Amino acid sequence: WAKALEAPILSVDYDLAPEHPFPVAVCQAFFAYCWALTHASSLGSTARSVICVGDSAGGNLAATVAIKALQMGIKPPAGVVMLYPALYLHLTPSPSRILAMMDPLLPLGNLQLCMDAYANRFASLYGRFSAMLHLDPSAKISDDPEEDAKIRRWLAVLSPLIAPDEFLRDFPSCAIMASELDPLLDDSIMFIRRMRKLGRVKDVKLRVAPCLPHGWLNMYFVGDKGSLSSSKEAISWMKQLLSNGLAGHQHDSEEERRQQEGSPPVPPPPPPPPQDPPAEGEVWVPTEDLPTPNKQPGGLTGEERRKEEWRREGDSISHFH
């Protein structure tokens, strides 16, 4: 992908559930995004156009990073590309989930185990609100406005499908490649449907890859023709979103220069093509309330934990020999 896009790719090695349940992965992915914006030169980039891409659980994180950026007042990505994403982490029946009950790759029982392991205690506390907001995103959760807003903010970065309307209206341009034989297919359909109900018609896209299961991206490496063609299409979406982000950045820079010189404002660009994202704002990364990456209270970082595992493995091998 890096070669095809001619752009650097930052892959986030976030900690996994059940040892590290929600919101650890969200915080780590968001911290990495903020770090990348302010240290772009270290990655060989200018960060003038940044997109978030993810598959499966990574698709969930790509969406939640964009929502978290909107919540924190940070420049959101220019676009989001999600491949068979998990957008609703509450096990409710839907046609695709029922049809995949005995799926050989992701049966319904395994899906429930994964969701429970990730959502963990948060789901037991607020899971009932997920179903409520799924039916009516404007439903009242609490009589206390602050508590209501707090629960909605956290549910939005757990299940982007039930994010408040104000975040989905400002959500970056997005493209979803779902899978026909995937229990999570309905998540993608309902997410795009919500976006379009909010007037987001031209800059959101959904394609269902025919006859492909959940996790088809892994089949790309064994030469599966369906995976190859779907991957190529996803790459073309990424190129378009990156290009749109650059166009938006150049327009913003020209507008700032003219304001400083006292010149008339630059006329807006011509009507955008269907995938054009909204213009991006200033980059601002807060110094407070950002999570410490890869770190749990009283625990080891991911890197320290891996070194400890390697040391133990080396000790056991040495002992064996």
- The better pLDDT of the pair 42, 289 is held by 42
Q: Which one-letter DSSP state was computed for residue 184?
A: T
- Which tokens sit at 126? 């607020």
- Asked if residue 206 has pLDDT above 60, the reply is yes
Alpha-carbon span 198 to 166, nearest angstrom: 9
Residue 186 has pLDDT above 90, yes or no: yes
Left if phi > 0, otherwise alpha if psi is -120 to 50, otherwise beta: which for 73? left
Question: Which residues, in sequence order, are CB contacts of 284 under 8 Å at separation 6+?
Answer: 73, 74, 75
What tens digit of pLDDT does each residue of 221-270 get?
666 788 888 989 999 999 999 998 887 655 454 455 455 555 565 555 45
Pick the range with the lowest mean pLDDT from 21-25, 100-104, 228-232.
Answer: 100-104
Whether the pLDDT of residue 286 is over 80: the answer is no
Q: Is the pLDDT of residue 162 over 50?
A: yes
